[in-house]
Chain A
């Protein structure tokens, strides 16, 4: 496979050839992975003859759609998973780490998407855990430990207090602690797995500054992402993977978002707003004066008033944990509001059963595996849910017995309509990729023909191609004059497809703006501050 790194500069090519003969990597490449193949049982080829070289002191991004093999490649390097074949050269000699511990000892560390720290411990305690400095009695030398951690924090300009408890600091700060933990262990190569996925738009630049400072200090940073914009801003070089194959490595300065997207999905992707102007109709969904307190009397929703009209997509922006979860659960009937009223097409559903609500509401949850599907049931059984009670087509004998033939036909219809890639309808749901799972869920929900559609982060964790597909489906529902409420942490998404954006801050709706008359910065401030930015 052609790699763009070496190009056709012949001296380097010759040099690399010589080094290849000797089993050594060319100068400047601190890590070289060659012909890596990884097969996940039974027959998923996650990596197909992938070769990448990382230079010392660069920020190197690995991008690709979900399932492209980014994380797998890094886990193989880090010793978390063995490759089926291929070689890894580290500092010129062939290496294979048996486990992450060995990788860390050799100066390679990885920060995972989930943060693994002890919430009751302070920052410095978490950092030294496992490699505690001890005094002559064998006790932890607290003073020295604190001093060392403090020094590291200063050295890298991390805005952290070593004495604060993990449970009391922000997610962004916790992520810094994870990085600090590795730096404390003298790691010189940092692997970051989608580090920005847990951050707010405002926190990302700070992380990037810190990463750049680390690079300038001589650290090598490899980071996995599928956000093209940040990849171009931050990295020096970018390697694109698609379906387990390497498409190429490019210099960030010489590429564009369009080119990268095309490399990632293999075709052109449209980034501009997709929606066509359309007048909204009557009010179809209405929440008035909704308050919700949890069992400890803490308020999570405060006097929520919102309306969605037919043919309108209303977006709800907000940092996670500001009441989105409760809002969704109140609408779906999983929890009961303390006061207020819910109405769909004029009917009061505040106290209705979930089944009653489902006659009027389609729901796509952000939690695909726990709320949106049953992964160990078959695809057909997943498609059938809710339809089995609302759609007479799928039952016989007055609803008592299922019509499996009809259900399977329906699954085939969903497959056709929503371009799902699958082998057989009775395969387990978990055998599908994330994007295909979401298409099935969307198909099931949209074909319920409910007038109101509640979408909770419907594109979370999906790749660029699938996101575009989901957006088109959502917009086609708008064209069908249904009413849609979209909760999303992705501001690009909100700006791309919504008509109005409401901002949820600490359980309150603090803004109601027309999408075309506002901008990302304004919404960003509202999300963080709960009020417009004063200039």
Chain B
């Protein structure tokens, strides 16, 4: 645990230093740049709430990927599941009329249903035709992308709009805001706690974890591997769908073109940096959201383009992932040297 934390912190510090070198070669002042970056992501209440709000889709799609990877299925369909979830929530918000205390849970469930449906297709393709979810989820991403694009351009198009988008959903479906703080973070937090509990404390979660590491052993131990595969696919799809629903309900309150942005791929990246750890995914999600939110402010007051954040993210991924293996070797070597010294004395 301590070692993991050390590895992550060392990776982040090293990445920031390397980022500074990149800035220096471009003639920018790294201290000022980083100052702006963190000022505009954590510096005041407004920035902080923006960061928290932006972290929600990253963390949810990250959790989706982490749970899938740690349990075995290679679900890479978060982008598709996210937009389908968003579409389901939007449709519900457009055609349902319920008081907020019902509307919000219903839209959330609809979003999860949409995501689960989309990942469920991949799960069925595996069951019926033995097609690898690695391929099918990726392909379904494209279908979801163009399907939602069609939906907001034709049937759900807001009349007179200049841009493919739907009308706003009913106001009862908007997530409440407390000042600047958007309650989407609370919804995410609840989902996080539930997911952590399922994965780490329940009998099913135990089976998923073991199946993810050695499915033959799990199968021989009496674990219903096929059933678990389906459940994990549905659950991770639902999480990505929830991410999409919350984007709509917290933000533009409608589905507009490009809504999914890069959230889901960033989520997959976060799952990889976090080595599919649930808590690590949460923390990295917050950190990456900090970088991304600060980037805009940074661009505003320095001449550094916000794209530098992508460079920084890539460096962090590489260093943390590479460092994970190397640190084990290093710690092992140091321990061996210590043992030799003990023997000698």
Are the C-beta atoms of A41 and B335 separated by less than 8 Å? yes
Are the C-beta atoms of B203 and A385 separated by less than 8 Å? no
Stretch at the interface among B24-32, B249-257, B260-268, B336-344: B336-344
Are the C-beta atoms of A370 and B336 separated by less than 8 Å? no
Q: Does B2 sit within 8 A of A, measured CB to CB?
A: no
Which residues of A are found within 8 Å of B339, using beta-carbon distances? 39, 42-43, 45
Q: Which of B204-234 contact A (CB under 8 A)?
A: 204, 206-207, 209-210, 213-214, 216-224
Least distance between B178 CB and chain A CB atoms (Å): 33
Which residues of A are found within 8 Å of B218, using beta-carbon distances? 374, 385
Number of A-B contacts (CB under 8 A): 94
* Cβ-defined partner of A384 (8 Å) among B206, B336, B343: B206
Are the C-beta atoms of B343 and A37 separated by less than 8 Å? yes
Which residues of A are found within 8 Å of B203, using beta-carbon distances? 388-389, 395, 399-402
Q: Which of A44-63 contact B (CB under 8 A)?
A: 45, 48
A374 to B343, CA, bound (A): 33
Which residues of B are found within 8 Å of A381, using beta-carbon distances? 206, 209-210
Are the C-beta atoms of B333 and A385 separated by less than 8 Å? no
Q: Which of B311-345 contact A (CB under 8 A)?
A: 329, 331-333, 335-336, 338-340, 343
Stretch at the interface among A220-228, A353-361, A519-527: A353-361
A399 to B217, CA, bound (A): 21
The chain A residue with its CB closest to the CB of B202 is: A401
Which residues of A are found within 8 Å of B338, using beta-carbon distances? 43
Are the C-beta atoms of B220 and A41 separated by less than 8 Å? no
Which residues of B are found within 8 Å of A363, using beta-carbon distances? 220
Q: Does A365 sit within 8 A of B, measured CB to CB?
A: yes
Which residues of A are found within 8 Å of B223, using beta-carbon distances? 355, 385, 389
Which residues of B are found within 8 Å of A373, using beta-carbon distances? 214, 217
- Please count how many residues in chain A sit with their CB below 8 Å of the partner chain's CB atoms: 39
Are the C-beta atoms of A390 and B222 separated by less than 8 Å? yes
Least distance between B72 CB and chain A CB atoms (Å): 12
* Cβ-defined partner of A40 (8 Å) among B202, B214, B336: B336
Least distance between B221 CB and chain A CB atoms (Å): 4
Which residues of B are found within 8 Å of A384, using beta-carbon distances? 206
Least distance between B94 CB and chain A CB atoms (Å): 37
A381 to B129, CA, bound (A): 33
- Please count how many residues in chain B sit with their CB below 8 Å of the partner chain's CB atoms: 29
User: Which one of A84, A374, A377 has the highest number of Cβ atoms from chain B below 10 Å of its Cβ?
Assistant: A374
Least distance between A338 CB and chain B CB atoms (Å): 21
A84 to B343, CA, bound (A): 12
Are the C-beta atoms of B343 and A377 separated by less than 8 Å? no
Which residues of A are found within 8 Å of B210, using beta-carbon distances? 374, 377, 381, 385
Least distance between B15 CB and chain A CB atoms (Å): 27
User: Which one of A332, A385, A386, A395 has the highest number of Cβ atoms from chain B below 10 Å of its Cβ?
Assistant: A385
A372 to B201, CA, bound (A): 23
- Interface of chain B, main secondary structure: helix
Which residues of B are found within 8 Å of A15, using beta-carbon distances? none
Which residues of B are found within 8 Å of A41, using beta-carbon distances? 329, 331-333, 335-336
Are the C-beta atoms of A39 and B214 separated by less than 8 Å? no
Are the C-beta atoms of A385 and B217 separated by less than 8 Å? yes
Are the C-beta atoms of A371 and B206 separated by less than 8 Å? no
Q: Does A334 sit within 8 A of B, measured CB to CB?
A: yes
Given A43-B335, A43-B336, A84-B340, A334–B209 Cβ distance below 8 Å?
Answer: no
A188 to B164, CA, bound (A): 80
Are the C-beta atoms of B220 and A365 separated by less than 8 Å? yes
Are the C-beta atoms of A354 and B220 separated by less than 8 Å? yes
* Cβ-defined partner of A85 (8 Å) among B206, B213, B220, B340: B340
Are the C-beta atoms of A370 and B217 separated by less than 8 Å? yes
Given A39-B336, A41-B332, A45-B343, A402–B221 Cβ distance below 8 Å?
Answer: no
Q: Does A376 sit within 8 A of B, measured CB to CB?
A: yes
Least distance between A437 CB and chain B CB atoms (Å): 12
Are the C-beta atoms of A42 and B202 separated by less than 8 Å? no
Are the C-beta atoms of A401 and B336 separated by less than 8 Å? no
The chain B residue with its CB closest to the CB of A388 is: B203
Which residues of B are found within 8 Å of A399, using beta-carbon distances? 203
A358 to B343, CA, bound (A): 48
A332 to B221, CA, bound (A): 10
A372 to B220, CA, bound (A): 8
Are the C-beta atoms of A371 and B335 separated by less than 8 Å? no
Which residues of B are found within 8 Å of A400, using beta-carbon distances? 202-204
* Cβ-defined partner of A371 (8 Å) among B204, B220, B224: B220
A388 to B20, CA, bound (A): 51
Given A42-B335, A43-B336, A377-B210, A385–B202 Cβ distance below 8 Å?
Answer: no
Are the C-beta atoms of B217 and A371 separated by less than 8 Å? yes
A41 to B223, CA, bound (A): 35
Least distance between B39 CB and chain A CB atoms (Å): 42
Given A377-B210, A401-B201, A354–B219 Cβ distance below 8 Å?
Answer: yes
Are the C-beta atoms of A42 and B206 separated by less than 8 Å? no
Least distance between A351 CB and chain B CB atoms (Å): 15
Least distance between B183 CB and chain A CB atoms (Å): 29
Given A365-B220, A374-B213, A84–B336 Cβ distance below 8 Å?
Answer: yes
A400 to B202, CA, bound (A): 6
Given A39-B339, A85-B340, A385-B210, A374–B201 Cβ distance below 8 Å?
Answer: no
The chain B residue with its CB closest to the CB of A376 is: B213
Q: Which of A486-505 contact B (CB under 8 A)?
A: none
A384 to B204, CA, bound (A): 13
Least distance between B56 CB and chain A CB atoms (Å): 28
Which residues of A are found within 8 Å of B335, using beta-carbon distances? 41-43
Given A374-B217, A401-B201, A386–B340 Cβ distance below 8 Å?
Answer: no
A361 to B343, CA, bound (A): 48
Which residues of B are found within 8 Å of A402, using beta-carbon distances? 201-203, 206
Least distance between A361 CB and chain B CB atoms (Å): 10
Are the C-beta atoms of A353 and B224 separated by less than 8 Å? yes
Least distance between A384 CB and chain B CB atoms (Å): 7
A42 to B3, CA, bound (A): 14
The chain B residue with its CB closest to the CB of A374 is: B214
Least distance between A397 CB and chain B CB atoms (Å): 9
A363 to B216, CA, bound (A): 14
Q: Which of A374-427 contact B (CB under 8 A)?
A: 374-377, 381, 384-386, 388-390, 395, 399-402, 404
Which residues of B are found within 8 Å of A353, using beta-carbon distances? 224
Which residues of B are found within 8 Å of A40, using beta-carbon distances? 336
* Cβ-defined partner of A332 (8 Å) among B206, B207, B220, B329: B220
Nearest 4 Cβ contacts at the A-B interface: A41-B332, A42-B335, A355-B222, A385-B221
Given contacts A354-B219, A374-B214, 16 further A-B contacts (CB under 8 A): A39-B336, A41-B333, A41-B336, A42-B335, A43-B335, A43-B339, A45-B343, A48-B343, A85-B340, A332-B220, A334-B219, A372-B217, A377-B210, A377-B214, A402-B202, A402-B203
Sample of 9 A–B contacts (CB below 8 Å): A39-B336, A45-B343, A355-B223, A370-B214, A374-B217, A385-B217, A388-B207, A389-B203, A389-B222
